[in-house]
Structure 1
Amino acid sequence: MGFSVIRNRISITRGDSAQITLTIRDRVTGGLFVPGPDDRLTFTVKRNLSDESPLVVKTLDNGIVRREQDCLLLLAPEDTAHLPFGTYRYDVELVLVSGYTDTVIPPSPFIVTGEVTAHGKV
């Protein structure tokens, strides 16, 4: 696999696919929590925290799939193919229909690594 996740640190080979499980736990009960149809879950990547424009954004039903006990973040080759090698920052924010907001994964490293074999090049 061209990606790894260690303690919220994502490392991915530029232009590769990744399927990353997002497990959310209720802070009070400790039980598993899956966002409802009117909740929002957003994965955002930026070069720097202070940047206005995100480089990659995934939301529920648009790159994040709701499953029975968790969610699955789907990164496609085109999500990172245009990014220079280096370290970026990402977070995951949950906004419940009630307005309650929680950054379930705080700003963390998103590392795009180099590749030897690139598509279309021989």
Structure 2
Amino acid sequence: MGFSVIRNRISITRGDSAQITLTIRDRVTGRPFVPGTDDRLTFTVKRELSDEVPVVVKTLDNGIIRQKTDCLLFLLPEDTASLPFGTYRYDVELVLASGYTDTVIPPSPFIVTGEVTAHGTI
């Protein structure tokens, strides 16, 4: 695998694919929570926290799918293929239909690493 997730730190080889499980737990009951059809879940990557324009954005039904007890985030090769190597920042924000908002994963490192073999080089 060309990616890893350790304590919310994502490391991915530039241009690789990744499937990352996002498990959200109810803070009161501890049970898994899956966003409903009127809720929003957004994964955002920026070079710097202060940047206005993100380099990667995934939302429910557009890169994030609901499962029975969690959500699955899909990163595609084109999401990172043109990014310079280095450390970026990402977070995951949940907005319920009621307007309640929770950053379920606070700003965390998103590291794009180099590759030796790249598509089209052979």
TM-score range, shorter chain: over 0.9
Q: Where does residue 38 of structure 2 map in the other structure?
A: 38
For these two proteins, the number of residue pairs brought into alignment is 122
TM-score (normalizing by structure 2): 0.99
Regions of 4+ moved over 3 Å: none
Runs of at least 5 residues in structure 2 that lack an aligned partner in the other structure: none
State the TM-score, normalized to the length of structure 1: 0.99
Residue in structure 1 matched with residue 59 of structure 2 by the alignment: 59
Offset from partner CA, 1:29-56 (integer Å, 9 cap, x none): 1111000000000000000000000000
Task: Report what 2:12 is aligned to.
Answer: 12
Please give the per-residue CA displacement for 1:1-53, whole angstroms capped at 9, x wherever unaligned: 00000000000000000000000000111111000000000000000000000
Gaps of 5+ in 1: none
Identity %: 87
The residue identity in structure 2 corresponding to 1:29 is T
Deviation at 1:117, TM superposition (A): 0.2
Cα distance, 1:101 vs structure 2: 0.1
Aligned-residue offset at 1:72: 0.1
Task: Give the alignment of 1:1-122 within 5 angstroms.
Answer: 1-122=1-122
